[in-house]
Amino acid sequence: MRILVTGGAGYIGSHTCVVLLEAGHTVTVIDNLCNSSAIALERVQELAGKPLRFVEGDIRNRADLDRVFEGGIDAVIHFAALKAVGESCEQPLRYFDNNIGGTITLMQAMEAHGVQRLIFSSSATVYGQPDSVPIKENAPLRATNPYGRTKLVMEQLIQDWCAARPEVSAVLLRYFNPVGAHSSGRIGEDPRGEPNNLMPYIAQVAVGKREFLRIYGDDYPTPDGTGIRDYLHVVDLAVAHLKSLDYTAAHSGCEAFNLGTGRGYSVREMVNAFQIAAGRPVPSQVEDRRSGDVSELTADPFEANARLSWHAKLELSAMCADVWRWQQQNPNGFINEA
């Protein structure tokens, strides 16, 4: 199958490209490289032992998309988006323009070129502060920041498009907390500036790039007082996109699935597990809670398990070991070869 991967040079996109190529699909990537590196795609091809087509372009630019679709595309996996919660609060217009505007232009191009299968990279942020955990797909949707609201609007756009076009099939994948890296250490998460997520921050402390980890709050109603989140390995997440492609081949309409392990780990548990994997200490300092943080966010992955035939297989030890391997081999990310 000919797959277009938007944002395919990014963290999750690059790992998904490896899985797609290894499964025998033909892959085209469009990415404007605003938050990623073309080096990742070179390494994807090295790991898979197969080539892909890369177009440097912006999905908001219809001419760029038409150039991509003219080569023939059967399905789209849509990752391309800005994704930092804090930044979205500072630059909401940029986020709405890029994320929502880009999705509209992409879907218009898909319709013009007769492409009817779409896998969308959504997020658990669409649930906001949940009433209960683990979270099911039918929980209320109430994003609490501009980034989450863009994801929610993008979901609604896709749902409305499917309702208007019965022949279209779309899957909305609501990620919880992707971590890990390819076991080779060749590709992994390469945040620009200060990491927004826990695991890369821990890794940068362990490798000596940062002095200590800031733990925001140790007075939550959890066993050790720190917040609990559902972490899943990025390779398991990549496989879910492959399973979703199979699902769209047999179903029409739009469906949403939670992707997580269903098991939560606290910040302190994550630090302890990483210290074991790295064989060195990760100094930390407790600070005040951040506004809007909740004590626990975990997924109920039953629907993905049952209907996509997908299960998260890689455990916390593998998540930590793979991140440490990536961090050791690439202390400055892809910039080492830039």
The full set of domains in the chain, from first to last, is 2-182+231-260+299-313 (3.40.50.720)
* 3-state secondary structure (DSSP) of residue 53: strand
pLDDT at 188: 97
Distance CA 123, CA 17 (A): 19
Burial (CB < 10 A; 0-12, 13-18, 19+), residue 263, is middle
CA distances from 23 to 3, 16, 79, 135 (A): 12, 11, 19, 31
Percent of the chain, pLDDT > 90?
Answer: 92
Q: How confident is the model over 126-151, as pLDDT tens digits?
A: 999 899 999 999 999 999 899 999 99
Beta 264-266 vs 228-233: how paired, if at all?
antiparallel
- The HSE-up count of residue 49 (CA atoms within 13 Å, CB side) is 3
Distance CA 169, CA 214 (A): 43
The answer to whether 12 touches 181, Cβ cutoff 8 Å, is no
pLDDT at 180: 98
| Catalytic residue list | 147
CA distances from 231 to 112, 113, 175, 278 (A): 38, 37, 9, 18
CA 292 to chain CA centroid, Å, is 21
* 3-state secondary structure (DSSP) of residue 275: helix
Residue of 275, 291, 293 whose CA lies nearest to 283? 275
pLDDT at 337: 46
Distance CA 68, CA 126 (A): 30
In a structure prediction context, what are the per-residue pLDDT tens digits for the chain, which is 338 residues long?
999 999 999 999 999 999 999 999 999 999 999 999 999 999 999 999 999 999 999 999 999 999 999 989 999 999 999 998 889 999 999 999 999 999 999 999 999 999 999 999 999 999 998 999 999 999 999 998 999 999 999 999 999 999 999 999 999 999 999 999 999 999 999 998 888 899 999 999 999 999 999 999 999 999 999 999 999 999 999 999 999 999 999 999 999 999 999 999 999 999 999 999 999 999 999 999 987 788 999 999 999 999 999 999 999 999 999 999 999 999 999 985 44
- CB-based burial, 67-88: b 16+ in 10 Å, e otherwise: ebbeeebbbbbbbbbbbbbebb
